[in-house]
Every structure is written in structure tokens, then in C-alpha cells.
Amino acid sequence: MRPALRAELLKITTVRGQWLGAAIATLALPAVSLLVAATGGVGAGDTVTSGAATGSIAGLLAFGIWAATVAAGEYAQQTMIVSLMTVPRRSVLYGAKLAAIGMVAAGGALVSAVTAWLVVWAVLPTGAHHTGEPFALVSVVLAIVAVSVLGMAVGLLSKSPAASASIVVVAVLLPKAAAGLLGGLERWVVGASPGTVITQAVGGAQLPHSQMFPGGAAAAALTMLLVATAVALGGAVALLRRDG
């Protein structure tokens, strides 16, 4: 699987739009957090850590759309034919794609989260906010990896960059937007959605009790990862069964 993984990483680095997309996605979270902090958008009850996470939706969307378009682009550009000819074991090909997307997303998310924390810490007035628990920003990394994996799987399932990007946007934004329509499911669906998982982990922002996941932040993160895994398995089954 190692050669296939190397090839998948090389695919990203040899197309400017793909590595540039990952770089822009990495900058999205700290840029938005900087904007919020610099314009006085960090509330009195917020910590540096929760302030750093204010741009997390931008990061989630950017990485999710990037992963979806990279994966679906294999079909849109017909390069899947060469991918299947050179790595015809589809389980290996899928595993390599998953690992490559996950590695780039995890690395980018880590850089994003650390940069956002440092930027917000530097911008906020000294002593005006507690630092909070910086380790909670691990939730940002987990959420971005989960959304990226979901984006990749949806990209392979739909074969369409536009459709898969739209699905990622809906998956990230709809749970919160449609919270009022979910009734008793609200705390389960919204609570385990990527943006809310981060909010629960970093604290600070006002989150309605009805959107708090019943088992707490760790259980919410676990549920989010399980959903991403289920979608990833769906993508794997589709790739294994369908014609190239």
C-alpha cells in the first residue's frame, strides 16, 4: 500500500490547484479567527482557545470541499482509468486515497489550529481573556479530518466535483440551520455535527442546551467519527463494486 499512498500524495503535489487548495484551506480557519478577534468579535466569556476556533466552520468547509473535488476530479478528469490500471486492487487504491486525504487534512488542520491560537492570542488584549484549554483544539483536527474523509467518500460516490462540494456544504451547515425542525433528534444530530463538536470541546460560546450532545464532547466527537467512518465505508463499497 505504501507505493499507492506515495502516488496519491504525488498526485496532490503535482497539480497546482490541488496543493494550492489544501494551502488555502489551511489558511481559512486562522484568517477568519483573526478577523473575528481583530474586529472585537471575541466575547467577554470567550477564551483564547474558543476565540481561535471561531473560524472553524470556514476550515471545515474548505477542507471538505477540497477533499471532495480532489476525489471526484479523478472521474471528472478521467484519470481514474490510469489509477485503476496502475493500482487495480481497489481496496488498496481506496485505502491509499483515504490515507493521503486524511494525512494532508490532519497536517493542514494542525497547522491551522496552532496558527489560529497564536494569532488570536497575539491580537487579543493582554490579560483580557483566559487562555482556555489549547489541547481542546484537537477537536478541530478531528472534525476537519472527519469532514475531509466524508468529502472524499462523497466525491467518489457522486463522481461530480460540484455535487460532492454541495453535499459537503449541506453536511456541515444543515444540521445547525435545520435544528428547529429536528425535534427530539436535535441534540443527537446537531450535537454530533462537526461545528458543534468543536464548540462543545473548546467551550466559551453560548450553545443552547438542546444542542449539547447527551454524552458530552468526547461522545459527540466519537459519534462524528463513526458517521464519517460509515460514509467512508459506503465510498469503499461503491468503488469496489462499480465499473471504472
Partner 1 sequence: MTPGERAAAAIVVEDATKVIDGVTVLDGVSFSALPGRVTAFVGPNGAGKTTTLRAILGIDHLTSGRATVGGRPFAEHRQPVRVAGALLTPDAAHPRRTARGHLSVVAASNDLPGSSVDAALELVGIAGIAALPVGQMSLGMRQRLALGTALIGDPAVLILDEPHNGLDAGAIRWLRVVLRALADGGRTVLLSTHLMAEIEAFCDEVVVIDQGRIAMAGPLGHFIGGASMEERYLDMVEGG
Which residue ranges make up the site for partner 1 (CB under 8 A)? 3-4, 6-7, 10-11, 14-17, 73, 77-79, 81-90, 241, 243-244
Q: Which positions ≥6 away from 120 have C-beta within 8 Å? A: 33, 34, 37, 42, 48, 51, 52
Q: What is the DSSP letter of 207?
A: -
Nearer CB in complex with partner 1: 27/93: 93
Nearer CB in complex with partner 1: 51/73: 73
Q: Which of 99, 107, 109 is nearest to 7 (CA)?
A: 99
Q: Which positions ≥6 away from 45 have C-beta within 8 Å? A: 204, 206
Q: Which of 69, 58, 141, 160 is nearest to 103 (CA)?
A: 141
Task: Tell the smallest beta-carbon distance from residue 164 to partner 1 (Å).
Answer: 17
Task: Tell the smallest beta-carbon distance from residue 59 to partner 1 (Å).
Answer: 25
Are the beta carbons of 120 and 42 closer than 8 angstroms?
yes
HSE at residue 147, side-chain half, CA atoms within 13 A, is 36
Nearer CB in complex with partner 1: 14/206: 14
CA separation (Å) from 137 to 55, 81, 92, 179? 12, 39, 32, 24
Task: Tell the smallest beta-carbon distance from residue 7 to partner 1 (Å).
Answer: 4
**Residue 72: Cβ-neighbour burial (10 angstroms; 0-12, 13-18, 19+):** buried
Nearer CB in complex with partner 1: 209/241: 241
Nearer CB in complex with partner 1: 78/131: 78
Angle separating helix axes 90-123 and 138-158, nearest 10 degrees: 140
Return d(Cα 171, Cα 40) in angstroms, integer: 29
Nearer CB in complex with partner 1: 84/182: 84
Nearer CB in complex with partner 1: 49/160: 160
